[in-house]
Amino acid sequence: MKIKAQYAMVLNLDKCIGCHTCSLPCNNVWTNRKGAEYMWFNNVECKPGIGYPRKWENQQIHRGGWTLGEKGLQLAAGGRVHKTLNIFHNPDLPTIDQYYEPWDYDYAKLIESPARQHQPAIRPRSQLTGEPLDLQWGPNWEDDLAGLATTGGGDVNFKNLEVATYLQFRNVFMFWLPRLCEHCLNPACVASCPSGALYKREEDGIVLVDQERCRGWRYCVSGCPYKKVYFNWHTGRAEKCLFCYPRTEAGQTTLCAHSCVGRIRYVGVLLYDAERIAQAAAAPTDQAVYPAQMEMLLDPEDPEVRRAAKAQGLADNVLAAARRSPVHALICRWRLALPLHPEFRTLPMVWYVPPLSPVSVQADTTDAQDQVDQVDRMRIPITYLANLLTAGDEVPVRLALSRLMAVRQYMRSLRLGQTADTQVLDKVGLDLPTADRIYHLLALARLDDRFVLPTAPAGDAGIYKRQGTCGFGDAM
């Protein structure tokens, strides 16, 4: 057993209001320079929809991530021989139109316009060419268009569902999906890079780009199935989310998590067995990947795990943070958070609590009605959420939603001054202390409960192993 620590994030989709406040500080701090105009290390998408870049989830088009073939686990876009033969032409690379051509406006024309009978108007112009631009897409385009009616047919999460049914007003649904780099345990971007510029840090699992070694081959861009590696057209190098490592090294959370007005984000430490990565990523079926990944994650309360971790050099403050980790509770202990598209076999480390949605209530419905039946009658189809979060396996999604609903019904019975309804908790395997802890963390948690990160040891600047220079400074 080789124990490592991994920084991870959980996002509660039940509370996301789609305000994009998480995206703004990230954009202002990390992508505020020439060549990065179209980059959104963190963006918020409207679901259903095809996202940003367009149809990023459809690996029949983009061929990102890993596949399990006759020779075992392989990159979906091909190995070294394929990349060598196509090194000057990557057919799987997204074009700028699939993101969007960034634009601005000539505001001086408004300010300097002479007096006239009608209000002056200005056209958008490309930040790449300076020419007038006919706007076709943007990072939150589907949010503005209410998503489904325009692009629902291209959403791969409607697999095994009739899209036309959900185009009807009485059946339509919508929720928001914030996305950032998954900092995967088995990152396809790292494996795809011919120059070895991408790497995963030993101490915290953050995936970074060595700007000195990057040669702009862009195979990392096409190799990432989540399309969270970008190409800076000005510097000729790749860039991506760096999990705000200058902050996390000081024990502070990421900018996107700190700024979230809905308090939907939780950041903490997970312990995992690195020797099981290959086995989990090569699970025999897509639906088996999530259970295999769960088996990799270790219990920080287990005395044997703690002894082994200390023997292998994990610091005491890292182990203490792992024991208090909110992400471990949500992912492992309560099984409320699920990974995004585990079928990509990258073993992602950004997880999501699925959203509850209104239930079609019958006249004879009571609060004690069976939660499984209520989950089936939710406006957001279970099949859609399962395609998004568990490779189509509905069982984990049902469990998470049933437990969320049970806690909500239990707290409602308390707030209405009635006798505490514990039956709803018994049906989903929760006791009263656990329900209270779930409610506290998901509804009322303080900042130091939602974000639990250790600090780097003082006076040891070399503790984090890097391959050359990281970050985005003037040296590029």
Give the separation between CA 315 and CA 99, rounded to whole angstroms.
41
**Cβ pair 166, 44 in contact under 8 A:** no
Give the separation between CA 37 and CA 144, rounded to whole angstroms.
20
Task: Name the helix (H) or strand (E) containing 378.
Answer: none
Sign of the four-CA dihedral 288, 290, 296, 298: negative
Mean pLDDT of the chain: 89
**% pLDDT > 70, the chain:** 92
Residue 371, pLDDT above cutoff 80 = no
26 within a domain of the structure (yes/no): yes
183 within a domain of the structure (yes/no): yes
Distances (CA, A) of 115 to 107, 118, 120, 171, 199: 16, 9, 9, 51, 58
321 within a domain of the structure (yes/no): yes
Torsion of CA 393, 397, 402, 407, to 10 degrees: 160
Residue 468's pLDDT band, with cuts at 50, 70 and 90, is: very low
Cis peptide before 358 (omega within 30 of 0): no
190 within a domain of the structure (yes/no): yes
Most confident of 118-122, 363-367, 388-392: 388-392
Helices assigned H by DSSP within 338-430: 371-376, 382-389, 394-415, 423-426
Residue 362's pLDDT band, with cuts at 50, 70 and 90, is: low
**Phi and psi (nearest 5°) for 67?**
-130, 155
**Long-range own/partner contacts, residues 85-93 (CB < 8 A, 24 or more apart):** 87/194, 87/217, 90/217, 90/218, 90/219, 90/222, 92/62, 92/63, 92/64, 92/222, 93/218, 93/221, 93/222
Residue 455 burial (C-beta neighbours within 10 Å; 0-12, 13-18, 19+): middle
Count of the separate structural domains present in the chain: 1
Our separate counts of H helices and E strands in the chain read 23, 15
Closest CA to 337 of 293, 374, 282: 293
Residue 291, pLDDT above cutoff 50 = yes
Query: For residue 313, how far is the Cα from the chain centroid?
Result: 29
pLDDT tens, 186-210?
A: 999 999 998 899 999 999 999 999 9
Please count the CA atoms within 13 angstroms of the CA of 13 that sit on its side-chain side: 30
In this structure, which amino acid lies at residue 264? I
Mean of the pLDDT values across residues 291-317?
95
pLDDT, greater one: 136 or 461:
136
Q: Which of 147-151, 328-332, 430-434 has the lowest mean pLDDT?
A: 147-151
- pLDDT at position 146: 62
**Phi and psi (nearest 5°) for 122?**
-130, 150
- Give the range of the structural domain holding residue 47, as residue numbers without chain letter: 1-100+120-354
Residues in the chain: 476
pLDDT tens, 99-144?
A: 999 999 988 888 888 888 888 888 999 999 889 999 888 888 888 7
Most confident of 50-59, 76-85, 367-376: 50-59
402 within a domain of the structure (yes/no): no
Per the DSSP assignment, residues forming a β-bridge with 44 are 178
**Structure token pair of residue 97:** 């139109």
**Cβ pair 115, 108 in contact under 8 A:** no
pLDDT, greater one: 459 or 213:
213
Q: Which of 44-53, 135-144, 216-225, 331-340 has the lowest mean pLDDT?
A: 135-144
Residue 475, pLDDT above cutoff 60 = no
**Cβ pair 52, 40 in contact under 8 A:** yes
Residue with tokens 């287990």: 302
Helices assigned H by DSSP within 71-205: 80-85, 96-99, 108-112, 141-145, 148-151, 163-166, 188-192
Residue 469's pLDDT band, with cuts at 50, 70 and 90, is: very low
60 within a domain of the structure (yes/no): yes
- pLDDT at position 151: 85
- pLDDT at position 467: 34
- pLDDT at position 109: 86
300 within a domain of the structure (yes/no): yes
346 within a domain of the structure (yes/no): yes
Residue 365's pLDDT band, with cuts at 50, 70 and 90, is: low
pLDDT, greater one: 372 or 274:
274
pLDDT tens, 157-185?
A: 999 999 888 888 888 899 999 999 999 99
Domain with residue 201: its CATH number is 3.30.70.20
Q: Which of 70-74, 145-149, 386-390 has the lowest mean pLDDT?
A: 145-149
pLDDT tens, 21-71?
A: 999 999 999 998 899 999 999 999 999 999 999 999 999 999 999 999 888
DSSP letter string, 154-189: G-GGGTTS-HHHHTSGGG---EEEEE-----SS-HH
Residue 375, pLDDT above cutoff 70 = yes
Residue 472's pLDDT band, with cuts at 50, 70 and 90, is: very low
Residue 464, pLDDT above cutoff 70 = no
Mean of the pLDDT values across residues 273-301?
96
Residue 369's pLDDT band, with cuts at 50, 70 and 90, is: low
pLDDT, greater one: 53 or 371:
53
- pLDDT at position 333: 96
